[in-house]
Structure 1
Amino acid sequence: MANDSGADVLVSFKDVQKTYDGEHLVVKNLNLDIRRGEFVTMLGPSGSGKTTGLMMLAGFENPTHGQILLEGRPLHNLPPYKRNIGMVFQNYALFPHMTVEENLAFPLQVRRLGADETRRKVAAALDMVKLGHLAKRYPAQMSGGQQQRIALARALVFEPKLVLMDEPLGALDKQLREHMQLEIKHLHRDLGLTVVFVTHDQSEALTMSDRVAVFNEGVIQQIDSPGNLYEHPRNSFVANFIGENNRLHGTVGTVDGELCTVRLDDGTQLRAKAVNVGGAGSATTLSIRPERVVLGTATNSAALENHLSGRILEFIYLGDHVRLRVSVAGHDDFMVKVPIADLDPAWREGDRVDVGWKALDIRALDPIAAA
């Protein structure tokens, strides 16, 4: 959990819980501080509590226990429209009977801004998303990408302290989605926005965020920078949810400082980084990324403490690299990522191949059931 102190903290969740039926907690003891100007993503599978957390911050849900602070002030008695928070939804939520400029003017009129200032702010917001030429159109006359830009402009037009985004790109196709990811990221940087973003798409979270809070079963499993989440997962859930991951199941032998020995189910002995393990004899699940595995003659390096024999089962061509599915230590779904330049042209499906990796590149974590 993150609990940053100081004047730069804009939002604080303090021991927040939420239940709908009085028995099952959808959010459990959420403690999270979000700094001014930060882009924080709440990431997790459906039902993990991430959207409920966002809805409580927006004011559409109330915490069952605990409190949420904005600039040090509790929000529990403040209705959504008085929180000065911008919202962007997946379904755009634009008024279909209003033109683009009328949609953008609406939150300013609610705040009783004068007509001249409203026109100026609407023009500036449309210019920001490069859609000034569509001011007189209705939402139905625009593409999905254009509607999402207008929804974003409407969330920013009244210059809120905080912008909340709930799966805002989920309805867009892949190419437009990736373009909008960069556009939102640039707006965040250029305008100094504080953004809380909800998604179940881990690649989207890694691309856009300063920090990512990974939710599961109402609890933040880890909150960290995208790089640390990927390279240094603290438990098996995070290792498997973030990026591609190979899992091997075994039993801890010895623990010596940051390293441990692990005996796999087929008897293979490995050395691994001891991250989240019990003592000797306890079960563990090992995690290693496909790009950290080396094949063939490269395994002769003295830097590789772990050496196994494998058999190539499948080649999956992906342009700049090839994924090889390899049978290793009784696992037929072990994936290895090989750059095109490093691929041995002599390799064929069915070939035996040496497999190796560094001890510090494989992490011994809490046990999960074998698939």
Structure 2
Amino acid sequence: MKLDVSAAESFVEFAGIQKTYDGEVLVVKDLNLRIRRGEFLTLLGPSGSGKTTTLMMLAGFETPTVGNIMLDGDRIDAVPPEKRDIGMVFQNYALFPHMSVAQNVGFPLKVRGRPKAEIAERVAKALDMVHLGAFAGRMPGQLSGGQQQRVALARALVFEPKLVLMDEPLGALDKQLREHMQMEIRHLHERLGITVVYVTHDQSEALTMSDRVAVFNNGIIQQIAPPSVLYEKPANSFVAQFIGENNRIPGQIVAAKGTTCTVELATGTKVVATLTDAAGVGDATMLSIRPERVKLAPPEGSIDNRFEATVEELIYLGDHLRVRFRLEGGFDVVVKVGNAEDRPVLDIGSRIPLGWRTDDCRALDAA
């Protein structure tokens, strides 16, 4: 998938959006974002980063202070929420407790004045879509959390909206059910071809479900890209640290040529890295290396960065070991070692060489 979305491809567009609640602090700062039709885009970031405010402006529950929002070629920032033809799914489900499942799902059609026969047909179709056809007559209180979330999803889809917005919809579910519902929603998206904008602070959820992820921090999109690009090629230190586990090693750039640089650590150890988001020679940087990219016992001369290391800590996690090594020069690196038959024997105090390729080590901003 292309990283950029052209104006011709754009289904949703935020143009020059700013949002402040008090007239002083900008919660969203100069947001320019295009979303293509049929895309599953996740807004990811910590609390207070601006992701939920962005979703609420798209839904119509908040108004931009500056800028405009387009949906399918029409400007909507002054259009009330009920006239935007947008489905919403929230964390708390927001089901009516005194209505049956079928009545809850049919409510959006009822308020739109659709005929009873059409409502019954669409409700049955929507409930079958989320595998709840046999639960039409039950009350919300008789359903599990996962079933209630499916009802909320069916209600958001029953009137065939242009766009579906989801705000932390799985946050109240336990881990196993949350993972199951992630795949349910993903499969529904693929089957129906709907456009979804999804908000979460859970990076694994974002990586699992999305076509692209927009990482927010301090009201600004730090990077927007497919999950694999975010993980493998983070644009800055914040993205590297927020997406997945990451070894962070501070140093100073002492040489640079093209996209490669040499970084000297405080101990005098030198590391060759890919120059990404650091200014240049003489500047401080933060090296980023994913734990699974560190190789154990690489042959001498086979890899750019190779160091002698000592096992300091071992944590057994079933399918892999999480091993903390102390490298020569006095810095620590965490390595994920697959729990396979051919892995080397590792004990506390064991000494073993390890290393990583230049392409797997990124010199980022020092912030």
1:205 match: 206
CA contact (8 A) 1:3 1:31 kept: no
Q: Which residue of 2 aligns with 1:331?
A: 331
Aligned to 2:344: 344
- Change in Cα spacing, 1:13 to 1:58, as seen in structure 2 (3 Å) is same
1:94 match: secondary structure: coil
Aligned to 2:98: 97
Q: Is the 8 A contact 2:42 2:199 kept in 1?
A: yes
Separation in 1, partners of 2:12, 2:136: 34
For residues 269 and 232 of structure 1, the distance between their equivalents in structure 2, rounded to whole angstroms, comes to 22
d(CA) in 2 for partners of 1:113 and 1:303? 69
CA–CA separation in structure 1 for the residues paired with 2:183 and 2:319:
22
Q: Which residue of 1 aligns with 2:220?
A: 219
Q: Which amino acid aligns with 2:310?
A: R
In 1, Cα distance between equivalents of 2:302 and 2:120: 65
Cα distance in 1 for residues equivalent to 2:285 and 2:236: 11
Structure 1 vs Structure 2: percent identity of aligned residues? Answer: 62
Report what 2:151 is aligned to.
150
Contact 1:148-1:168 within 8 A present in 2 as well: yes
Q: Do the aligned partners of 1:274 and 1:365 also contact (CA within 8 Å) in 2?
A: yes
TM-score normalised to structure 2 length: 0.97
Q: Distance in 1 between matches of 2:128 and 2:216?
A: 36
Alignment of 1:1-371 (within 5 A): 4-296=5-297, 299-300=298-299, 302-328=301-327, 329-332=329-332, 334-341=333-340, 342-345=342-345, 347-368=346-367
Extract unaligned runs of 5+ from structure 1: none
8 Å contact 2:311–2:324 — kept in the other structure? yes
| Conservation of the 8 A alpha-carbon contact between 1:19 and 1:25 | yes
Counterpart residue type for residue 149 of structure 2: Q
Q: How many residues align?
A: 364
Q: State the Cα deviation string for residues 159-200 of structure 1 (Å, max 9, x = none).
A: 001000000000011111111000000000000110000000
Instruction: Normalising by structure 1, report the TM-score.
Output: 0.96
| In structure 2, distance between residues paired with 1:348 and 1:120 | 64
Secondary structure at the residue paired with 1:311? Answer: strand
Amino acid at match of 1:280: V
Deviation at 1:2, TM superposition (A): 6.5
Q: Give the Cα separation in 2 of the matches to 1:197 and 1:87.
A: 10
Contact 2:87 2:165 (C-alpha < 8 Å) held by counterparts: yes
Q: CA deviation at 1:307?
A: 1.4
CA distance in 2, matches of 1:301, 1:70: 57
Q: CA deviation at 1:43?
A: 0.2
Asked if the contact 1:87/1:164 (under 8 Å) is kept, the reply is yes
Q: 1:301 to 1:207 in 2, by over 3 A?
A: farther
RMSD: 1.3
Q: Which amino acid aligns with 1:177?
A: R
Structure 2 residues not aligned, in runs of 5+? none
